[in-house]
Structure 1
Amino acid sequence: MMHEEVEKEACFILGLLAVKPEYQARIASCGALRGLVRLLKKHKLTTMTRSQPGSGGAARRAADAITNLAHENSEIKNMVREQDGIPPLVSLLEAHDLKVQRAAAGALRTLAFKNEDNKNQIVECGALPVLIQMLRSEDVGVHYEAVGVIGNLVHSSQNIKRKVLEDGALQPVVNLLHSPCADSQREAALLLGQFATTDADTKARIVQRGAVPPLITMLSHTDTSLREMAAFALGRLAQNADNQAGIVQCGGLVPLLTLLESKHYNLQHNAAFALYGLADNEDNIPDIVKEGVLQRLLDCVEKLQVQASKDCVQKTITRMEQKFGGRVLSHVVFMLRSGDRVVQQRAAMALARLAPEGELRAVFVEKRGLDLLLDALVDVRVEPRMRKDASAALLELVRKISATDGAESCVPAQPPKTVYLGSQYVNNATLADITFVVEGRTFHAHRIALLASSD
């Protein structure tokens, strides 16, 4: 017992020293890895229903030490594999002691990160089925480490990603979106985003398994990294037409737009990419208009500092304009008759910017779209931001009309230019202000009537 305690404390001290990058190589070069691997192999898996006090202590500390030694050190990651350290770590995933499970998974997670040889050996040792079972663990630490290992295994590895899905990882990963652990939620969202790049069917299956509502809820979480990963996953899922409509109908539009307007560049970029995907579905365009998204996108084009995000938002607006015809146009024009004045005005502003030039007369004269824009400008009850947006939309409408050869077709038809003062004033000198003499005959007339009746 005393010997085991000494081994455990020695591993603990090595782990603490290995936190310093400058000590990692020195510890490994002194032969410490060989001793750590020996302790991993020494641990015996128990079949008891209850863990023994202190069981697995040395093995757990050895796994923790390997985690710290290999952290961001590709050379030591290779050394662990070459010294046969991966098979015993995979075996420890099935240890009864939850602390040992967590430590083994943590070490494998580190070893798998950006190391193809290690990833392949971990899979060849049969780790995937056990890791997938660990995803269902009620222990937060166990399922957090398990989802982290799987995430590192599938990163940049299409073959391992397919195998993980074939082995049944999808549903337990989706379930982790409801974990009480925010870190587990974040890792699950990241992994689902990686799964979504497999193929179109996988994108659809992720949504069918219930991933969208919790991901949308996560968009409003106080944890920035959690919001970032949720937006990342939704952006990948939004590359599927049915998913695009589903995300909007589940309420994803406004929280994504809020992230786009945040001060965090990663949030902005992930939200911009997701919104670009949502704009690809014609069924979403009326909802985008109704929520006032277009005006906020236009603001973001001016305010975003990262060029990639700014370009993505501009492409989203262009994509919306390309779809502004047919049933989309009809639906938005129908919104001009909405019982909600704000919706009417948002529809008019969107039409001013996105409607085809050939439809401008029908929309803004016959359908009274111009009246809605003007009302938004002069109505004191309208919010200042809305008035500003209406002014910009009206300016854009004028620009489009001015650039059109048939601009005069958009001008409302004028009433006939006639003025009739009454029969008693026809050829009557009373109030007449002009006289014509024709072949010796005098005719009395009124300048205003002549002016109104002349071209």
Structure 2
Amino acid sequence: MDSGYARGAQAKTALHDELNSTISGISSFAYGPVAKVDKLALRKLAHQLADHCKSDDLVEVIVQLGAVPAVVPLLMLGDTLDGPSTGFDDIKKEACFILGLLAVKPEYQAQISQAGALPGLVKLLRAHKPTAVTRVVPGSGGVARRAADAITNLAHENVDIKNQVRKEQGIPPLVALLEAWDIKVQRAGAGALRTLAFKNEDNKRQIVECGALPLLIQKPVLVGSDGCGPAPPVPRLFASQMLRSEDVGVHYEAVGVIGNLVHSSQDIKRQVLSEGALQPVINLLSSPCAESQREAALLLGQFATTDNAFKARISQRGAIPPLIRMLAAPDTALREMAAFALGRLAQDSENQAGIVQAGGLRPLLELLESAQYNLQHNAAFALYGLSDNEDNVGDIVREGGMQRLLECSERLQVQASKDCVHKTITRIENKLASPRVLSHCTYMLRSLDRAVQQRVAVALARHVPAGGALAPIFVDKAGLDVLLALVTEQPGPAYAADPSMHRDGAAALLQLANKVNANAPIHAM
């Protein structure tokens, strides 16, 4: 044990010495005369340090040994007033990579920012300028990509750095990356914009003003030389169409940027829709990437709140079938977002019927019985919307929806979900007062499927109010015979597939008897 501990301590000391030597070597080059920089030696040292930074256990030690002040100057190594030097691209790329790996804690993000990294990173982004045929300056793609990635990590959940990136004019060159020829650069630019837009209204506004929406969606855009502001006398034409990209990474980042831009912003949401985003977002519901599907479903749910016209357009353009398929996905987050989108679409009467007819009722009832409270609540809200349409009441009753709503109401984890389910039950009970709806449900007592007969009889006994409608249902239409058979016959394929239906049948008979007694004439003793 002692010898093993000693060997471990020696290895730890050796690693510490190696890291210290590497960082010191980088620092000596970074602060020394540019003419004396051995590019190959410096690149080797930077690469070694980057490999060590990949280990989460070493990041704290590396920061403590002074890696940040040693690496940040490399971002501007060899630069002149005219712009970044291209002779140090590989070294700068490693420096960006290192800083991105070190930015794992807010205090490290702040330290990197305070060391002056952001101006250097923005300068590297500006060096990546597409030509008139959208091809990049040779050698600049990798550096710009690593610089964008570093900004993404630095700005992650850091409001101060998000604002500082904007103040350093970092948003225009990031938007310009969306038209890059290299899809890896596109992805990196979109990823940075996605992070910067998250819960930051000023950044959202500038991203839109710099012409990001047409590049993300599909329409050509005329942009100036810096990707922002008025077009020059001879404008350049680009049509990036990232949402329609066959590359999964590209369209995932694109839909993510749009999602963050439209969040809590009706104006941007309308701009996004006017740029033609609706159909490509709907198409992403069938993407091979589950994350893209999830982001698309979330975005459609947000689009549906714009106005009623968009609820109809979303369904008319084919969104409902893939959303219903997503309700059965193994990914919990994917099911949650699909239920969210369907809940918003179900605020339209035509969509309410369409969702049920497309097979959405059963999976929503199953989600209501899940153990995840977000799934429960989104399913409850969607079912509340579906229950508003009289044409759906019969389907809900046939599926055993009333019993399932009652059973789950006590198991729901959030009070808002319980309230939603109670409102759904009340709404359906009110619909059953309609002669048309009640006639349809009563007719289903003639179904050849015994399980359907049982569900209908139980629902009508429990939810039709006391009064003249009970006798036609349970005497004339043989509803009472169905209930009696339900509690007297043994469970089996010809009768109740679920033994719990015996319990429901007994409860229904008791409620039916109470309703009859309550309306019977009282005779004096």
Q: Distance in 2 between matches of 1:407 and 1:8?
A: 91
Matched with 2:97 is: 12
The answer (yes or no) to whether the contact 2:136–2:180 under 8 Å persists in 1 is no
Correspondent of 2:451 among 336, 342, 356: 342
Inter-partner Cα distance in structure 2 for 1:37 and 1:259: 46
1:71 aligns with 2:156: yes
> 1:219 is aligned with what amino acid?
L
**Which of 482, 485, 492 is matched with 1:375 structurally?**
485
Find the counterpart in structure 2 of residue 402 from structure 1: 517
**Stretch moving more, 117-126 or 350-359:** 350-359
Residue in 2 that maps onto 1:431? none
Deviates more, 1:132-141 or 1:39-48: 39-48
Aligned to 2:56: none
User: Please, which runs of 5 or more residues in structure 2 have no aligned partner?
Assistant: 1-85, 218-240
Partners in 2 of 1:237 and 1:111 — Cα distance?
29
Identify the residue that residue 244 of structure 1 maps to in structure 2.
352
Evaluate the alpha carbon distance shift between residue 366 and residue 61 of structure 1 in structure 2; reply closer, same or farther with a 3 A threshold. Answer: same
Name the residue aligned to 1:286: 394
8 Å CA contact 2:89–2:139 kept in 1: the answer is no
Distance 1:143 1:357 in 2: 57
Query: 4+ runs of 1 displaced by more than 6 Å?
Result: 48-53
Cα distance in 2 for partners of 1:94, 1:399 equals: 72
Q: CA deviation at 1:149?
A: 0.2
Task: Give the conservation status (yes or no) of the 8 Å contact 1:282–1:323.
Answer: yes
Instruction: Work out which of the residue numbers 91, 96, 101 in structure 1 matches 2:181.
Output: 96
- Please say if residues 353 and 397 of structure 1, whose CA atoms lie closer than 8 Å, have aligned partners that are also in contact: yes
- Cα deviation for residue 19 of structure 1 reads 2.1
Q: Quick check: 1:327 aligned with 2:412?
A: no
Report the CA distance between 1:51 and its aligned residue.
7.8
Q: Confirm or deny: 8 A CA contact 2:134 2:179 kept in the other structure.
A: no
Q: Give the Cα separation in 2 of the matches to 1:53 and 1:160.
A: 35
Q: Distance in 2 between matches of 1:228 and 1:292?
A: 23
Q: How does 1:21-420 map to 2 (within 5 A)?
A: 21-46=106-131, 55-132=140-217, 133-324=241-432, 325-358=434-467, 359-380=469-490, 381=492, 382=496, 383-404=498-519
Per-residue CA distance 1:308-347 (angstroms, 9 max, x = gap): 1111111111110010022100000111111222111111
Q: Take 1:400 and 1:163, find their aligned partners in 2: how far apart are those partners?
A: 57
Deviates more, 1:267-276 or 1:347-356: 347-356
CA contact (8 A) 1:232 1:270 kept: yes
Deviation at 1:398, TM superposition (A): 2.1
- With over 3 angstroms needed to count, the CA separation of the structure-2 counterparts of 1:52 and 1:391, relative to structure 1, is farther
Secondary structure in 1 matching 2:410: helix
Tell me, in whole angstroms, the C-alpha distance in 2 between the residues paired with 1:187 and 1:317.
31
Amino acid at match of 1:339: L
SS at match of 1:303: coil
Distance 2:312 2:112 in 1: 48
Q: What residue number does 1:451 align with?
A: none
2: distance between equivalents of 1:282 and 1:407? 37
Q: Which moved more, 1:359-368 or 1:395-404?
A: 395-404
SS at match of 2:364: helix
Which residue is equivalent to 2:71? none
Q: Structure 1 CA distance, aligned partners of 2:203 and 2:439?
A: 57
What TM-score do you get using the length of structure 2 for normalisation? 0.76
Cα distance in 1 for partners of 2:435, 2:521 equals 22
For the residue of structure 2 that corresponds to 1:403, the secondary structure is: helix
Residue 47 of structure 1, CA deviation: 5.7
Cα distance in 1 for partners of 2:518, 2:146 equals: 74
Distance 1:67 1:290, change over 3 A: same
My pick for the range that moved more, 53-62 or 144-153, is 53-62
Larger Rg: 1
C-alpha displacement at 1:205, in angstroms?
A: 0.3
Q: What is the deviation of 1:78?
A: 0.6
Distance 1:407 1:11 in 2: 88
Check conservation: 2:103, 2:154, Cα contact below 8 A: yes
- The 1:345–1:91 alpha-carbon spacing in structure 2 relative to 1, beyond 3 Å, is same
Q: Structure 1: which amino acid aligns with 2:245?
A: S
Structure-2 change in CA distance of 1:259 and 1:182 (3 Å): same
Q: Deviations over 1:270-293 (max 9, x none)?
A: 111111110110000001111111
CA contact (8 A) 2:397 2:455 kept: yes
Contact 1:401 1:407 in 2 (8 A): no
CA contact (8 A) 1:377 1:390 kept: yes
Matched residue type, 1:80: V
The amino acid that maps onto 1:377 is V
Say if 1:45 and 1:187 are closer, same or farther in 2 by CA, change over 3 A: same
Provide the C-alpha distance between the structure 2 equivalents of 1:161 and 1:203, rounded to a whole number of angstroms. Answer: 14
Q: Distance in 1 between matches of 2:517 and 2:409?
A: 24
Query: 1:133-158 CA deviation, whole Å, 9 max, x = no partner?
Result: 11000010000000000000000000
**Structure 1 residue matching 2:439: 3-state secondary structure:** helix
Q: 1:53 deviation in Å? A: 8.4
| TM-score (structure 1 length as normaliser) | 0.87
